[in-house]
Structure 1
Amino acid sequence: MRLSLTPLGVLLGAFFSTTVLAQDGDTATITDYDVISAPALSSDRIENEVLIEVTTVGPRLIAVGAHGNILWNEDSDWQQAEVDTSVLLTSVAFADEQNGWATGHHGVIINTNDGGKTWKRQLDGFELMGLEKSYFEARIEKLSAEIESTDGEEAIAELEWQLEEAQFQISNIEVAEEEGPSKPFLDLYVKDSNTVWAIGAYGTFLKTENGGDSWQVISGQLENPGGYHLNTIFGRGDDLYIVGESGLAFASYDGGSTWQTLNSPYRGSLFGGHLDANGDVWVYGLRGNAYVSEDKGQSFSTIDTGTRVNLSAGTSTESGTQLIVGHSGTILEIDDQLNVKNRTHPSGSVMTDIIEVTEGKWIMTGRSGLLHWPAKISEEEAVATQQGAQ
């Protein structure tokens, strides 16, 4: 049974819209769920606000982050998109140059059909609670029937444990119905303009096959009875991968129809993953731990990263170099011989994503907003301004 978020969840949780107010000597916690439907606020400093992920869409760059902020850049100037929510956005992906999705806190999924200039909600936490409640109620009914018709103490004990977990999930949903939705989505994978998967905290796993007109809970496809957090989903073609808390690692080799549990190389939390040009699987997470698999996740080799900071996200460059970013301004540059060059951005900022713009030039997102490599400011300037952006 799950009671707490991973360190990545704690980082993202810092941006929950929860305030503590004192009135007449009493202290009460007030959670304002208007952020779900309140539009993103415009800002002339949006490039310096918290940003979580950045992607390329044809000639355009698109970044998402705090307060529903979405930026897009086609030439040189970043512009703010119109977004009908102000929750913290955690991921973004596109099916083509027009159709894309982003996920966020409070169970929000949004969609664009004009290349990222305007975004509308497709799902929110209230609807998510309804979907999950129906799913777990059906699961409880199914497990109860199986227990009645099953022989053998061991088999019955396993079914009873699964039943207890499903009942626990229902209890959590009932609490959320009273207090409001807070479950965050953490990542998504877009196969095409119809098929999208979304993952999140406490084992949340959803899929749409009609472009988001409706979503279905598919958490039971993963062997995750403890409801551990699912942090990243990535893939190419029919090969899809999910990694998460406590070393969770899953793979699908049939386009997401079925999933198998991988023998994880690490029992701590894995925050990020990507595929390189050869299809090798890279995963990384807590305390500088990083691994690569040349056989689709069946076995992994350890990368000597030379760092103990948490690693968040990565990408494979056109030249075949792997780039992985993390806390304290860390940028790992790994060549095809697995030699690691450990760079540090002068901002020293927490970084959450990285893409290659042109060879040797990268854009990162993180606590300080948009960051560049080569950096545009010195360490002294970053400290002086307390911004670290650029």
Structure 2
Amino acid sequence: MHKLVGIAMSAIVAVASVVAFSARPEPAFPPTQIKSDKLLVSGIDVNASGAAAAGDIGTVLVSTDQGRTWHPAKTSPGGESVESVESALTRLHFVDASHGFSVGQDQSILKTEDGGKSWTRVHVASDRAEPLFDLYASAGGQLFAVGAFGAFLESGDAGRTWNAREIGVEDAHLYGIAGRGDKLLIAGEQGLVARSVDGGRHWTTVPKFYGGSFFGALALSQGKWLVYGMRGRVYISDADMLSWQEIPTHLNAALYGGTQLRDGRVVLVGQGGAIALSDPGVQSFATLHAGARGSYSDVREMHDGSLLLAGETGIAVDKAILNAKQP
């Protein structure tokens, strides 16, 4: 009897060994999904074919159905010495229907030539951890990117190569850049505002009119300029960018992103989910939300009139907020 048990056990072990070491197909795992409502998203923009959003770990998401669904875009290092595109991205801007750029940590700059479906890194400085915060493309083809500790990069060949240059603000973080024609405006920390009237060749700082940091700048369709930042502070200037007037927002939350709508109104978003909406003449702001939820970092108007919001809790689409009563 004991002999039969031993033979049976030996057979079981032998069969188990054959199964364990025999070739068999890899187990089927579901594809990794990046959920748009779970990812930290810092920059968004809209083009003719849809929208794209950039955020944590070098992720770019794209949507072609007015922001209802999102899927990852293809990203590539763009160089044999670079293994992956993992630097957090801070801003994304389309130049036209096909071309766009995103910037981020390690002075990373990604470029798309197919409307956002695929992105290639065209610049990176891995030895410098400082991020880039914003970029601007002029009508003449010049590209500019700004970032921490006075970082200022420019490209004159459609973004294929980038060169760093000092513009006299090396100790300040530069958070936003905007432009119109040959005029450019940079907004930065501790109330820094710098302007150029010759296409970015020369820069001068504007006499300080506020001591807190500005996190963004807009070139408005009315020929005016707008900067926004800490404690809900918003200032507007005429074409000269020299004299600035505060527009109260009745917010005490930092404002991180903004856009001008097709009807002339301006939407600003920020800390704790704060949202402020101006009148068409941008003379006053109404508070649509004062805070107490995840912060928003950027905002755009979709083609169907809905509002696309990006921030700590990913991407959200609001179809009703733009119908709020104007201030």
- Scaled by the length of structure 2, the TM-score of the pair is 0.79
Residue 212 of structure 1 pairs with residue 159 of structure 2: yes
Match of 1:271 in 2: 215
Task: Give the direction of change, closer, same or farther, for the CA distance of 1:262–1:55 in structure 2 (3 Å limit).
Answer: same
Could you say which residue in structure 2 is the equivalent of 1:67? 57
Match of 2:310 in 1: 365
Mapped contact 2:274–2:291 kept (Cα < 8 A)? no
CA distance in 1, matches of 2:239, 2:207: 12
Answer yes or no: is 1:223 the counterpart of 2:168.
yes
Please report how far the alpha carbon of residue 296 of structure 1 lies from its aligned counterpart in structure 2 after TM superposition: 3.1
CA distance in 2, matches of 1:271, 1:320: 21
- Asked whether the equivalents of residues 193 and 211 of structure 1 are also in contact (C-alpha less than 8 Å), the reply is no
* 2:188 corresponding residue in structure 1: 244
Please say which structure displays the higher CA radius of gyration: 2
Displacement of 1:344 in angstroms is 1.7
| One-letter amino acid of the structure 1 residue matched with residue 93 of structure 2 | A
Letter in 2 for 1:107: Q
Contact 1:318–1:359, Cα closer than 8 Å, also in 2: no
TM-aligned CA deviation for residue 252 of structure 1:
1.4
Counterpart check, 1:190 vs 2:137: yes
Mapping for residues 128-207 of structure 1, pairs under 5 Å: 180-191=127-138, 194-207=141-154
Question: Could you tell me which residue of structure 1 aligns to residue 11 of structure 2?
Answer: none
CA-CA distance at 1:198 after TM superposition = 1.0
Structure 1: segments with no counterpart, 5+ residues:
1-40, 127-179, 377-390
Aligned length: 280
Asked whether the 8 Å contact 2:251–2:290 carries over to 1, the reply is no
Structure 2: stretches of 5+ with no match in the other structure: 1-30, 77-84, 322-327
Question: Judging changes above 3 Å, is the alpha-carbon distance between structure 1 residues 244 and 337 closer, same or farther for their aligned structure 2 residues?
Answer: closer
SS at match of 1:72: strand
Q: How does 1:1-390 map to 2 (within 5 A)?
A: 42-76=32-66, 77-84=69-76, 85-126=85-126, 180-191=127-138, 194-219=141-166, 222-225=167-170, 227-335=171-279, 336=281, 338-344=283-289, 348-358=293-303, 361-374=306-319
Q: Which amino acid aligns with 1:307?
A: L
Instruction: Classify 1:364/1:347 alpha carbon distance in 2 versus 1 (closer, same or farther; 3 Å).
Output: farther
CA deviation vs aligned residue, 1:176-220 (integer Å, no higher than 9, x gap):
xxxx4311111111225952111110001011111233222212x
- Tell me how far 1:123 sits from its aligned partner: 1.3
CA distance in structure 2 between the aligned counterparts of 1:193 and 1:290, rounded to whole angstroms? 29
How far is the alpha carbon of 1:91 from its aligned partner?
A: 1.1
> Identity over the aligned pairs, expressed in percent?
30
**Distance change >3 Å, CA 82–CA 243, structure 1 → 2:** same
Seen in structure 2, the aligned counterparts of structure 1 residues 185 and 356 have a Cα distance that, compared at 3 Å, is: same
| Counterpart Cα distance in 1 of 2:160 and 2:295 | 35
Structure 1 equivalent of residue 4 of structure 2: none
Evaluate the alpha carbon distance shift between residue 253 and residue 375 of structure 1 in structure 2; reply closer, same or farther with a 3 A threshold.
same
* Alignment check: 8 A CA contact 2:253 2:291 kept: no
> Which string of whole-angstrom CA distances, capped at 9 and with x for unpartnered residues, describes residues 291-313 of structure 1?
11123311111111111110111
Once the two structures are overlaid, the 10-residue window that deviates more, 207-216 or 264-273, is 207-216
The one-letter code matched in structure 2 to 1:248 is L
- The superposition leaves residues 95-153 of structure 1 with CA deviations (integer Å, 9 ceiling, x where unpaired) of 32222211110121111111111111111114xxxxxxxxxxxxxxxxxxxxxxxxxxx
Q: Distance in 2 between matches of 1:358 and 1:236?
A: 23
Q: Tell me which moved more, 270-279 or 41-50.
A: 41-50
Question: Alignment RMSD, CA only?
Answer: 2.2
Report the secondary structure of 2:200's partner residue: coil
Q: Secondary structure at the match of 1:106?
A: helix
Q: Give, in whole Å, the separation in 2 of the partners of 1:95 and 1:299.
A: 29
Q: Retained in 1: the 8 A contact 2:266–2:282?
A: no
Partner Cα separation in structure 1 for residue 296 and residue 58 of structure 2: 18
Q: 1:295 to 1:97 in 2, by over 3 A?
A: closer
* CA apart distance, 1:345: 8.0
